[in-house]
Amino acid sequence: MKIPGILVPETPPFPFNDIGLHDTIEAQANRVTEKAQTQTLSTGLGIFGVALGAFQIFSAASIARFLGIDQTYRHAIRLSGARQIASGLGVLAEYRSPTPLWAQVGGQALDMAGLSLALKGRPARRSRVGFALAAVAGVALLDMICARNLEREQLEAKLQRVARFPI
- Residues 21-46 have pLDDT tens digits of 455 667 666 777 788 888 889 999 99
pLDDT of residue 127: 86
pLDDT at 120: 78
Which residues are 137's β-sheet partners? Answer: none
Taking the C-alpha atoms of residue 81 and residue 1, their distance in angstroms, rounded to an integer, is: 60
pLDDT score for 8: 47
If 0-12 CB within 10 Å is exposed, 13-18 middle and 19+ buried, where does residue 71 land?
exposed
C-alpha pair distances (Å), 116 with each of 18, 22, 67, 89? 46, 51, 12, 26
Q: What is the pTM of this model?
A: 0.76
Query: How much is the pLDDT for 23?
Result: 57
Consecutive 10-residue runs of the chain (167 residues): their mean pLDDT? 51 49 63 82 94 96 89 90 95 91 95 87 78 95 94 85 68
* Cα separation, 50 vs 15, whole angstroms: 37
In 3D, which of 93, 90, 117 has the Cα closest to residue 105? 90
